Amino acid sequence: MRMTGADILLECLLEQGADTVFGYPGGAVLNIYDSLYKYKDKIRHIITSHEQHAGHAADGYARATGKTGVVLATSGPGATNLVTAIATAQMDSIPLVAVTGNVNLDLLGLDSFQEVDITGITMPVTKHNFLVRDAGDLAGTVREAFFIAGDGRKGAVLIDIPKDVTAAFADYEPAENGYRAANALKKRENPDLERQIKEAAELLRVCERPYIYTGGGVISAGAEKELALFARIIDAPVSSSLMGQGCFDQTDSRYIGMLGMHGTKAAAETVRHCDLFVALGTRFSDRVTGDKTVFAKGAKILHIDIDEAEHGKNVTPHIEVRGDLKEILARFNKMLPRRHNGDWNKKAKRLHSVHSAKQKGTVEFPVTPQAVITELDRLTDGEAIITTEVGQNQMWAAMYYRYKTPRSFISSGGLGTMGFGLGAAIGAKIGKPEKVVVNIAGDGSFGMNMNELITLAEHNIPVIELVLNNSVLGMVRQWQRLFYGKRFSETTLDRSFDYMKLADAFGIAAFKIKREDDVEPVLAKALETAKNRPVLIECEIDRDLNVLPMVPAGKPITDPIMEID
């Protein structure tokens, strides 16, 4: 079949099951948008206010559904606006395909109008990227891009297409089989797998105090069922990283909270006392290990991950197993005997029950994030998808909502991108319309993406935007309080604009939480309203609340600050 490059692109998206695209038009993608006009019934396009948030929406869509997200932007500024979103997805190993237009082939390299070398710019923040110079290569490239994004350790892939390539005609044949890159698959083969599994199984058999630490890799591998059984078989306490939230049911008695800078005391103490630290699908981020030289010193470390470059990168394991977590855990579940570590588990559980102090409000701002998020958890029965911005709001969202299933907590872990949450919520809601979707935001982050309230209104996307308004860049302020002598340089936001009027201007329902008595009724009303329209909630909180516990960067994980005067 002879078709234009633009039509080939869309046919190939459909081949991949990508029926939803987030994006923003412009000169270099006019041909693609012209084709989208024709494919309206088959491909849904959601236009945002800004390309960055289209990128986050595609990312949120991917995190919520497990499918590969697709974002489309024009050349030059459209493409550079995508960079933060691409880096955000890549850092969290989220499958994303970003398509950008570029200037005509003969204008490349000449500093032409709206030309940027976007493949060069995004090289360090993508898993791979392509510049397509021939319409005849387009179909193969799109298939390859989807393969790369979703294969092994997932990630972001960019395809840059000059405008004349989208206009040129080429032959297109629908593909029968999914593309498989022989080289990539070969590199993933692990000749040592059997030996590694045997050695790991031996460790698991002889240990006395095992501890399971789970990361985002469990979610991308879809290994939650295998994990649940594995935890029962080896009878170990479980904790999750920020990225791993929800891969293990947090209402399960084995769960002892998050591990890391703002993890629970119980999770950290258990690291100290365990004799086998089982790390699943995780990269030992510096936000988790703290001082690496003393991390899990008393334990053997077993690290299971699909990416060989993660073994020994941050923490050197005693035994590493490289491969697909779902398969490996299933193997362990078959070969290991069931065991009982009664006292050890009791100890971990006891630690978990004593640790966390209740947040206290003030006379002027009596409402606490803990009270709001706990109530939200109760009213939604822990079944909502929670997206977050970055800062204290993000940590509170991770700490106080109890995630029961994978893909219910969506947050920028690796890059820590303020402005991520609202776009991500849009994508999550489009991908999972049956779910309640709440973006837990901070007022600073809200300033970075409030333009996307327009998107909520325009497409009537019934997301709840819950702003925890402390009038400060709370997390930075917390560091200034602790480490910079309370010199609150540029973190006090005296922006007394009216959230209610702002929402009203966009045509969005708005509610305010100010008193403790507001919490339950306002949340209930917002949830009711959000059955068919978007909602903004402003919740006023005190500016001096801290996220606790906190392990200062680079300090031993076992020694968190529990209180700050």
Partner 1 sequence: MVNRGFQSRAANHAACDMEKQTFVLRTENRVDALRRVAGIFSRNGCNIETVNARPEGNASVMEITVFLSGEKARELKKALNRLYDVISVDVKAK
Interface residue with partner 1, options 45, 53, 56, 128 (CB under 8 A): 128
C-beta of 16 vs 491, nearer to ligand TPP: 491
Q: Verify cis geometry, omega within 30 degrees of 0, for the bond prior to 237.
A: no
Residue 185 binding result from partner 1, ligand TPP, Mg ion, none, given CB thresholds of 5 to 8 Å by partner type: none
x-or-dash string of contact with partner 1, 167-196, rule CB under 8 A: --------------x-xx--x---------
> Token pair of 380, please?
């939604």
Residue nearest to ligand TPP as judged by C-beta position? 442
DSSP 258: E
Taking the C-alpha atoms of residue 234 and residue 337, their distance in angstroms, rounded to an integer, is 8
Residue 313 binding result from partner 1, ligand TPP, Mg ion, none, given CB thresholds of 5 to 8 Å by partner type: partner 1
C-beta of 426 vs 467, nearer to ligand TPP: 467
C-beta of 63 vs 262, nearer to Mg ion: 262
Please report the sign of the dihedral spanned by the C-alpha atoms of residue 452, residue 458, residue 461, residue 464.
Answer: positive
Q: Report in angstroms how near the CB of residue 263 gets to ligand TPP at its nearest.
A: 18
Q: Report in angstroms how near the CB of residue 76 gets to partner 1 at its nearest.
A: 20
Q: Which distant-in-sequence residues (6+ apart) come within 8 Å of 217 by Cβ? A: 93, 153, 244, 280, 281, 282, 305, 306, 325
> Token pair of 41, please?
């019934």
Distances (CA, A) of 481 to 358, 390, 486, 545, 546: 20, 18, 4, 11, 10
Residue 462 binding result from partner 1, Mg ion, ligand TPP, none, given CB thresholds of 5 to 8 Å by partner type: none
Taking the C-alpha atoms of residue 159 and residue 98, their distance in angstroms, rounded to an integer, is 6
Q: Report in angstroms how near the CB of residue 454 gets to partner 1 at its nearest.
A: 37
Q: Which of residues 140-169 bind partner 1 (CB under 8 A)?
A: 148
C-beta of 309 vs 500, nearer to partner 1: 309
Residues at the contact surface with Mg ion, assessed by CB under 5 A: 442-444, 470, 474
Interface segment toward partner 1; rule CB under 8 A; list 46-54, 115-123, 135-143, 237-245? 115-123
Reference 423, options 443, 405, 441, 436; nearest CA is 441
Reference 315, options 215, 410, 220, 230; nearest CA is 215
Q: Which residues of 235-256 are buried (b: 16+ CB within 10 A; e: fewer)?
A: ebbbbbbbbbbbbbbbeeebbb
Q: Report in angstroms how near the CB of residue 375 gets to Mg ion at its nearest.
A: 20
Supply the residues annotated as catalytic: 51, 113-114, 163, 475
Residues at the contact surface with ligand TPP, assessed by CB under 6 A: 389-393, 416-419, 442-445, 468, 470, 472-476
Angle at 401 between CA 88 and CA 268, to 5 degrees: 80
Residue 307 binding result from Mg ion, partner 1, ligand TPP, none, given CB thresholds of 5 to 8 Å by partner type: partner 1
Residue 476 binding result from ligand TPP, Mg ion, partner 1, none, given CB thresholds of 5 to 8 Å by partner type: ligand TPP
Task: State the number of binding residues for partner 1 (CB under 8 A).
Answer: 19
C-beta of 131 vs 243, nearer to partner 1: 131
Q: Which amino acid makes up residue 24?
A: Y
Tell whether residue 107 is a contact of partner 1 (CB under 8 A): no
Interface segment toward partner 1; rule CB under 8 A; list 126-134, 207-215, 525-533, 552-560? 126-134
Interface residue with partner 1, options 34, 235, 275, 307 (CB under 8 A): 307
Distances (CA, A) of 159 to 123, 132, 144, 477: 11, 7, 10, 40
C-beta of 103 vs 238, nearer to partner 1: 103
C-beta of 444 vs 549, nearer to Mg ion: 444
Residue 124 binding result from partner 1, ligand TPP, Mg ion, none, given CB thresholds of 5 to 8 Å by partner type: partner 1
Taking the C-alpha atoms of residue 551 and residue 240, their distance in angstroms, rounded to an integer, is 16
Asked if 93 contacts 220 with a C-beta cutoff of 8 angstroms, the reply is yes
Helices (H), 443-498: 443-449, 453-458, 474-483
Distances (CA, A) of 166 to 6, 122, 372, 441: 5, 21, 50, 39
C-beta of 124 vs 342, nearer to partner 1: 124
Q: Is 376 exposed, middle or buried (0-12, 13-18, 19+ CB in 10 A)?
A: buried
Q: Which distant-in-sequence residues (6+ apart) come within 8 Å of 93 by Cβ? A: 153, 154, 155, 216, 217, 220
Q: Which amino acid makes up residue 48?
A: T
Q: Report in angstroms how near the CB of residue 417 gets to partner 1 at its nearest.
A: 20
- Which helix or strand (DSSP H or E) is residue 125 part of? none
Interface segment toward partner 1; rule CB under 8 A; list 78-86, 96-104, 121-129, 354-362? 121-129
Q: Report in angstroms how near the CB of residue 86 gets to partner 1 at its nearest.
A: 15
Residue 128 binding result from ligand TPP, partner 1, Mg ion, none, given CB thresholds of 5 to 8 Å by partner type: partner 1
C-beta of 15 vs 375, nearer to ligand TPP: 375
Residue nearest to Mg ion as judged by C-beta position? 442
Taking the C-alpha atoms of residue 471 and residue 542, their distance in angstroms, rounded to an integer, is 8
Q: Report in angstroms how near the CB of residue 462 gets to ligand TPP at its nearest.
A: 23
Q: How do the residues of the chain divide into helix, strand and coil, expressed in percent and rounded to 5? A: 45, 20, 40
Which stretches of the chain bind partner 1, using CB under 8 A?
119-120, 123-124, 127-129, 131, 148, 181, 183-184, 187, 307-309, 311-313
